[in-house]
Chain A
Amino acid sequence: DTEVTQTPKHLVMGMTNKKSLKCEQHMGHRAMYWYKQKAKKPPELMFVYSYEKLSINESVPSRFSPECPNSSLLNLHLHALQPEDSALYLCASSQGGPIQNIQYFGAGTRLSVL
């Protein structure tokens, strides 16, 4: 099973709303990732969690707040977003550790900020 599950699939929110994106995997992976993807562009890395600790933050605005409650779950809390934050948000996971590991992606959450 190489499944990464993301919910919701679609989300529409106003600029004053607070919402959360959820990502779950049950492959025993210890590294999890958030990416932002604009249409017809490659994914851009936002955050990396390794063994439930934030290891990479690509200078993402504070209106995006990641959380890793346990090794299977990754959340992205959204607050006071801007219309330019509308995009596909992808979650990925990999085994983690010192050797290279394949990243497995979820189907993403399509976010629209009005």
Chain B
Amino acid sequence: AQTVTQSQPEMSVQEAETVTLSCTYDTSENNYYLFWYKQPPSRQMILVIRQEAYKQQNATENRFSVNFQKAAKSFSLKISDSQLGDTAMYFCALEETSGSRLTFGEGTQLTVNP
């Protein structure tokens, strides 16, 4: 069975600075997808970024980028130029191509301070 681990329950960063959230995972499959979702106080889960395991190039979405290390089974999220609106719970998630279920990590609560 697949597992996702986020070892940082809480993090904080000053506005405009850069922060990195960690995620490690385990799966026996070679083909899978990795995601970062954010859940602000408004409750809606919003997709931040997605990475296909077969792609070596790290995904980037504006201020958000990932460091995907397949051999180490590591998938960290870097947020550049942090903004107050980035304050949220961030969940790392994995989906194997053979199934239709997302496996979530326990989440990291990120607070951006003014």
Contacts and interface: CB of A to CB of B under 8 A. Distances in A.
Interface of A: 31, 40-43, 45, 48, 50, 55-56, 88, 90, 92, 94, 99-100, 102-108, 110
- Interface size range on B against A: 20 to 34
B47 A31 contact: no
Given A42-B107, A107-B42, A55 B100 contact: yes
Interface stretch (B17-25, B59-67, B71-79, B89-97): B89-97
A107 B47 contact: no
B107 A41 contact: yes
A77 B89 CA distance: 29
A90 B102 CA distance: 13
A56 B101 contact: yes
A55 B102 CA distance: 15
B107 A88 contact: no
A106 B45 CA distance: 7
B59 to A, nearest CB: 13
Given A41-B106, A100-B97, A108 B43 contact: yes
Closest 3 CB pairs of A and B: A42-B104, A105-B45, A107-B44
Nearest to B44: A107
A40 B101 CA distance: 20
Nearest to A55: B100
A42 B43 contact: no
B105 A50 contact: no
Contacts of B42: 107
Given A100-B33, A100-B97, A106 B44 contact: yes
B36 to A, nearest CB: 12
A90 B45 contact: yes
A62 B28 CA distance: 33
A94 B35 CA distance: 14
Contacts of B50: 102
Contacts of B97: 99-100
Contacts of A55: 100
Nearest to B35: A102
6 contacts: A42-B107, A88-B43, A103-B102, A104-B47, A105-B44, A107-B43
